[in-house]
A and B are shown apart, each in its own frame.
Chain A
């Protein structure tokens, strides 16, 4: 069966520091991968998605970037964190290709607090 791992679960970082959040998926090949963010009391916002190694699409301009160095690894990064980067970051995967008849599966998220 497929599993998705995110770490760390919680993170407190000072303003201006770098960020690296990692997500890995097991049990599937060439999945679609997604990064979402949820600010406090708000809905989920799609940040990036990837349909293959090295293929990253950005949904909103921001202080963050994403990379996919391996088939089942998705990394969210920032060179210098802002206070507004605080939130709940969620990674998700779905079967490869444009399959609208299969769900996204989410990890347990990383709660980031920028101080």
Chain B
């Protein structure tokens, strides 16, 4: 499986943009980058995913470098409710279309 590397923790001020980095240097050409978050004691919540192009939805933006070896999840205006563990996942083409979660980044949004 393509391995991802994320910082274990980050802090962000409320109202500011949160930029969460992810390295995936062994990603293959047809593998998607997915982002999920998990708020304490809840199930993981899907945020966004992409293949090559940058993507944006109502929750966040995903910026993927041209060589696809890294990506950044951007929460444009972080709120206290965005405090969570954020997982960057490379979805490899294996049976069952499953996702393999790593350790993620604990994002703490401070007032």
Contacts and interface: CB of A to CB of B under 8 A. Distances in A.
Interface stretch (B18-26, B59-67, B68-76, B100-108): B100-108
A103 interface: yes
A99 interface: yes
A34 B101 CA distance: 13
Chain A interface mostly helix, strand, loop or mixed? strand
A7 interface: no
Interface in A85-115: 88, 90, 92, 94, 97-101, 103-109, 111
- The B contact surface, by secondary structure, is loop
B42 A109 contact: yes
B52 to A, nearest CB: 12
Contacts of A36: 101
B96 A90 contact: no
A106 B45 contact: yes
A28 to B, nearest CB: 14
Contacts of A90: 43-44
Nearest to A51: B96
